[in-house]
Structure 1
Amino acid sequence: MLTKFPRSKTAPARSWPRRSRARELPLRAELFGVEQLARHAQAIAAQHKLVAGRTSARLLTRLDQNEKVLRAFNRATLAVDQSRRVTPAAEWLLDNFYLIEDQIQLARRHLPEQYSRELPRLANGSPVGFLRVYDIVLELIAHVDAQIDADSLSAFVAAYQTVAPLKLGELWAVPIMLRLGLIENLARITTGLAQGRLDRNLA
């Protein structure tokens, strides 16, 4: 098993449009079995259109933002009055943050800015210019509720390539994109937890 983050019960959001983080929902879509995942991978491969040119370092900027969200939530959790109950999800995040931080540092180390600029990006989708390999990973995360193992990841990528082969650099980047996608999802879940905590404090 690659990783397991707390499950979310909210609806999907594949990308990050320019809006308040409080309105960004976790990556969550209809749960698919093995055959459904393969068909979905082939469907998005047929839909993807590439654009020429280099992309910006948007993912690394977003990673910095997500790290700040996670750190701020942990600081707030530590500051909670001991008479108040900490939710299991908040406790999980606090206990496992050192592992999350390791994944953040690995992503930074293995995705230098120049390398990310060379990866193929999409001409369609939201937002335009998204890295194709990152969009593939987000689709998988959404349709398995972030419960990913090596077999499901390999099968999804293999099914995609029956329609549209990926470049060698994209295949190499899949593990990094998976880290980035899971951290993105966790930051979105954390934002929801923070809003819930605020609502309880105001009640």
Structure 2
Amino acid sequence: MILNSNQLRERAREFALTNESTGYPQPRRHWMVFQSDMKSLHEFAERLSASRTRCMQPAEDWLLDHIAFLETQCQEVIRTLPRKALHQLPTLKGAGIPRIYAICDDYLEHVDGRYDVHPFETYLQAYQEVSVLKTFECWALPIAMRVVIICRLAQAMREVRYRHEVCSSTATLLERLSQKDLSDEQIRALLDSYARGRTFTPVEVVHLVRHLSEWEPNIQLVREWLVGHIESSEASLANMVSFEHQLQAELQVVCGNLVTSLHVLERHPWRSTFVKISHVEQILLSQPVGEYERLDSVSRDQLRERVVELARRMNVPETLVAQTAVEISAGSNSDATRPVHPQDREACLAFYLLEARG
């Protein structure tokens, strides 16, 4: 179900209320999962390049067309968010994953995997009405989103790969059955060897039925054998095939949405979103004389990093440090009757955040 803006706000607040953050993650496990997912995508793409099955799935084309781009995104994640940086990300209690990973995953779950800047900003602002994100979390969100998208894509592609393997094994079986001069007993023996006394999964049944419709020799014998090895009626078989086609179409949509989302992330300058979602940034921008607003991005980063450092040293919220600096620079903690001029040293945020006397 895809949520609209109001529903996204409600969902974000609910998620923040029901998922408490605590401590910091163990980075090695998360890197191993991410690298394993990327490796599985690469291996499947190589396999598809080497051999395509008779019943090609639309999602396979998405992977082949974008595997180089996915590998570029993987390198961007490794470059921008090194393993040691994960120590700075609060963990979601009980889940053992960085909070921003869980936030990105929950957002994607409710928009069918389609990332869009403005709905995501809406979600984050609503989330922070309950639980405020740290400054580093706000900066790391686009990288976390890349990680989650790639992990979701790998999960979807595991379903696609399973169907690819079933199709390949089914085609191999029918090629053996199509050999000339096979008796009915030999055909049944080959089929029994393929079944190995197990119950077929719905995916295997669908592929057997699909391939049988394209196959001529001894088709009635194989159909009779198949009916004896599944619990479904002819009507339910038809429904099963229909459901499988529907699922493949859904996998195509999901994979397409996820790959498109990575492209959107690549194009969008994150700083503009950061300014909107960072509570520390918004507090510093609220300074009455507008000093912070007139600074360039490098100077803003320096002051904001100082806020983060002081908050960590004193073990207090970053927003408290930022708000205190703004109030003191505005003269609210000294002489409220004295007019404040931008030229006054005491009116400068940098004086209180960077200089020892401040």
Give the fraction of aligned pairs with identical amino acids, expressed as a percent.
28
Higher relative contact order (CA 8 A, sep 6+): 1
Partner of 2:111: 144
Query: 1:32–1:198: structure 2 CA closer, same or farther, 3 Å change rule?
Result: same
What one-letter code is carried by the residue in structure 2 that aligns with 1:129?
G
C-alpha distance after superposition, 1:19-73 (max 9, x if no partner): xxxxxxxxxxx32111111100000111121223553333221121011110111
Kindly indicate whether the alpha-carbon contact (under 8 Å) linking 1:60 and 1:108 is maintained by their aligned counterparts in 2: no
Instruction: Verify: 1:117 aligned to 2:87, yes or no.
Output: yes
Which has more radius of gyration? 2
Tell me whether 1:74 sits opposite 2:41 in the alignment. Answer: no
Q: Does 1:39 align with 2:6?
A: no
Residues 77 and 146, structure 2, Cα contact 8 Å, conserved in 1: yes
Deviation at 1:135, TM superposition (A): 0.3
Q: What's the counterpart of residue 191 of structure 1?
A: 158
Q: TM-score, normalised by structure 2?
A: 0.46
Q: What is the aligned-residue RMSD (CA, Å)?
A: 1.5
The counterpart of 2:61, out of the listed 91, 94, 113, is 91
* Alignment partners' CA distance in 1, 2:160 and 2:96: 30
Greater share of helix: 2
How many residues are treated as equivalent by the alignment? 170
Shift of 1:140: 0.6
Given the alignment, which residue of 19, 25, 28 partners 1:57? 28
Q: How far, CA to CA, are the matches of 1:138 and 1:53 in structure 2?
A: 18
Q: Which amino acid aligns with 1:107?
A: V
1:156 aligns with 2:127: no
Kept in 1: contact 2:22–2:91 (CA 8 A): yes
- Counterpart of 1:92 in structure 2: which amino acid? W
- What is aligned with 2:132? 165
Structure 2 unaligned runs (5+)? 171-358
Contact 2:24 2:98 in 1 (8 A): no
Task: Provide the C-alpha distance between the structure 2 equivalents of 1:178 and 1:70, rounded to a whole number of angstroms.
Answer: 17
Q: Is the 8 A contact 1:134 1:177 kept in 2?
A: yes
Aligned partner of 1:175 in structure 2 is 142
CA contact (8 A) 1:57 1:116 kept: no
1:80-120 alpha-carbon deviations (Å, 9 max, x no partner): 15x83532211121111111111111011111111111210
Question: Helix, strand or coil for the counterpart of 1:57?
Answer: helix
| Partner amino acid, structure 2, of 1:175 | P
C-alpha distance in structure 1 between counterparts of 2:141 and 2:25, whole Å: 19
Shift of 1:167: 0.4
